[in-house]
Amino acid sequence: MVRRQCIMVFCCILSLVCSAGLGFAGAHGGPAAKKVGILLVAFGSSEESAQVSFANIDKKVKATYPDIPVRWAYTSNIIREKLAGQGKELDSPEVALAKMSDEGFTDVAVQSLHTIGGAEFHDLMEIVSGFKMMGAFHSIIPGLPLLGTQDDMKKTVAALQAVIPKERKKDEAVVFMGHGTHHPANGFYAALNFQVQLEDPNIFIGTVEGYPDLELIKSLLKRNKIKKVYLMPFMSVAGDHAKNDMASEEEDSWKSTLTKAGYTCVPILKGTAEFSPFTDIWVSHLKGPLSHFK
Ligand code: CO
């Protein structure tokens, strides 16, 4: 599956770059004029409310680097197809990069807006490697997702504490809902849960599709004798998972499950990218790649 995708990616890139008669050297063989660009790459979301998160990051990146053009791409095929059905054209990373090569960009920072370095992030790294191998740019350098280094973990712990509701009392829990994955990088969620609990034992990181799951979180809430729980997404956008799996009245939502177990639940529908302490971390990851282009 991955191999087939790769072949398709390369055919797509080659045809786009070749048909444009471009490549880093430029059509006349001379050195291309330096043109630095930023490509922001998110999983994507088809929810209207999620656009707040993307607009917030876009604003922050443009304010930090006012002279550098910013482009966007979504990694999710399903989301892009859904949006195309609504008349909204969003590029995949490979198409966005081919267009940037066509536009004469020479040095591109590809910033992942993912939360962990999971499957989507690693697919993106393969695309970046492909463009590097083809010599489509003088340089193309990726930026790490939110949880990249131990320093990011520390900053994320501080960000989690900064965004929880002011009215929340210390004996009330805050449960963040991460996505979770089959990818080995899923371990970041448990690591973050451990590190946030060193600061505040009533803040928890759970996941919808990985570990720690809701059953485990439930047992930890019981152990800590919690009565009230604030539910917040640990995803860049408050999209489908936050609305349906976390906050909805559906029988198996986190809110319904915990309410049934006797907890008072207060869901908060705000993605991490709506808050500066998180967006600052993503934006800080552009500094390294961009410093190479000077
Ligand atoms: Co999902």
What CA–CA distance (Å, rounded) separates 21 from 95? 16
Mean pLDDT of 111-129: 97
pLDDT of residue 3: 44
Q: In angstroms, what is the span from residue 5 Cα to ligand 1's centroid? A: 20
Mean pLDDT of 86-110: 97
pLDDT tens digits for range 30-87? 677 999 999 999 999 988 888 999 999 999 999 999 999 999 999 999 999 999 999 9
Of the residues 28, 138, 179, 292, only one is catalytic, namely: 179
Q: What torsion, rounded to 10 degrees, do the Cα atoms 274, 278, 280, 285 define?
A: -120
Q: In angstroms, what is the span from residue 218 Cα to ligand 1's centroid? A: 21
**Assign residue 262 a region: left if phi > 0, alpha if psi is -120 to 50, beta otherwise?**
left
Alpha helices in the chain (DSSP H): 2-19, 51-64, 77-85, 93-102, 119-134, 150-163, 187-199, 214-223, 240, 254-260, 276-284, 287-291
Q: In angstroms, what is the span from residue 216 Cα to ligand 1's centroid? A: 20
pLDDT band at 294 (very low <50, low <70, confident <90, very high): confident
What CA–CA distance (Å, rounded) separates 116 from 132? 23
Q: In angstroms, what is the span from residue 241 Cα to ligand 1's centroid? A: 7
179 catalytic? Reply is: yes
What is the pTM for the complete model shown? 0.90
pLDDT tens digits for range 140-187? 999 999 999 999 999 999 999 999 999 999 999 999 999 999 999 999
